[in-house]
Amino acid sequence: MKQLKRVVVTGLGAITPLGNDVNTFWNNIKAGKSGADWITKFDASKFKTRFACEVKGFDTDSYFDKKEARKMDIVCHYSIAAADEAIKNAGLDLEKINKERVGVIWGSGNGGITTFHQQVVEFALGDGTPKFNPFLVPKMIVDMASGLIAIRYGFMGPNFCPVSACATSTSAIIEAYDNIRLGKADIIVSGGAEAPIVESGVGGFSALKALSTRNDDFKTASRPYDADRDGFVIGEGAGALILEELEHAQARGATILAEIIGGAMSADAYHMTAIHPDGYGAFLAMRNAVADAGIKPSDIDYINTHGTSTPGGDVGELKAIKKLLGEETQNASISSTKSMTGHMLGAAGAAEAIITIKSLNENFVPATINTVNLDPAIPEGMNIILKPISKSIKIAMSNTFGFGGHNAIVLFKKWD
């Protein structure tokens, strides 16, 4: 049997509601800032929810000429911008690496929903004559970002787009991890992007009663685990990670940010939009990720939870963590950074993986902000961090779950 290769992270890139580069993003996470504000991308005055965590100050002209930009949905703009930062951060010499051994596994839950919405509205308001943009299909389909990143840099290795709703970019990271440790690639650009803040995106989630309607206090609307939470705050953006085979990274003198030591996916097989009330599918994914890593649950120092601020989902996840950790539950610090970023949907896992890696590197656990009164339904012994703390972190876990019952878990280890 072929021995599995070790996989490390050598680059990071971010476009988020809290900053359009990794350093700005991370500093705002450490400071406990909220990315929520009034929706500016459309007139939301008649919507039940009128706020979101939008990307702010994104300069398309810094990455594309105007003709090129018009051929892409904004979700691809975010994707390429994040990937570009990660590639530079990794110090990849594009003239020296074997591009046939570099892949892109990049996800999105909704793809070009902005383009699709605009085109349907234009057709509906017209006289019935079909006048669709010739780039409608490539701007809309969810795999286009992975293709465009590869085209931009000439990467010819494995290339596809996993879709597992809000678990998407964690699924992409796990797929990249598996491809590299099986020897199918040396480097993979992985992560995901989302740009769902359009009338149908916000309206659709609002119709599900999934969104907070705290318009009078939107900065504190995302409040995971709080007894008064009333739904998530929709967000957008992109997160990129450069995953690399260990010996390949060492041979080129790369700075290693963390090692990926395990990952697993599972299904709730329970409900279209709700987590299993006891979080059993989430527990299976966590248990299997721990087994994949060859560690004990008690070795986990920090868990960046899915923690969306929805009444049912938060408690189900914590029950799963309690089942995993048992008597060691108190030893693992837990926080939900969606309290700051909002829920970036398919991009959430990548953005939170970046936070998890930065937490490892700096021995810092970010807070769950806005949470004041913990839900009494939360299991006993959960070490939920409400104020940021310094703590030695050697192993950290990032959790993501998606509509359809998709669960994806990844484990990172500090690189010594």
- 277 DSSP 8-state letter: T
Backbone angles phi, psi at 29, to 5 degrees: -65, -45
7 in Cβ contact with 185 (< 8 Å): no
225 in Cβ contact with 318 (< 8 Å): yes
Residue 268: both structure tokens together? 């709730």
b/e burial code for range 199-235 (CB count within 10 A of at least 16 → b): bbbbbebbeeebbbbbeeebebbbbbbbeebebbbbb
Closest CA to 406 of 109, 53, 7, 105: 109
User: Coil, strand, or helix at residue 413?
Assistant: strand
Residue 6: both structure tokens together? 């070790």
- How far apart CA 318 and CA 346 sit, in angstroms, is 21
Backbone angles phi, psi at 309, to 5 degrees: 90, 25
Q: Which helix (H) or strand (E) holds 397?
A: strand 395-402
- Catalytic residue list: 166, 306, 343
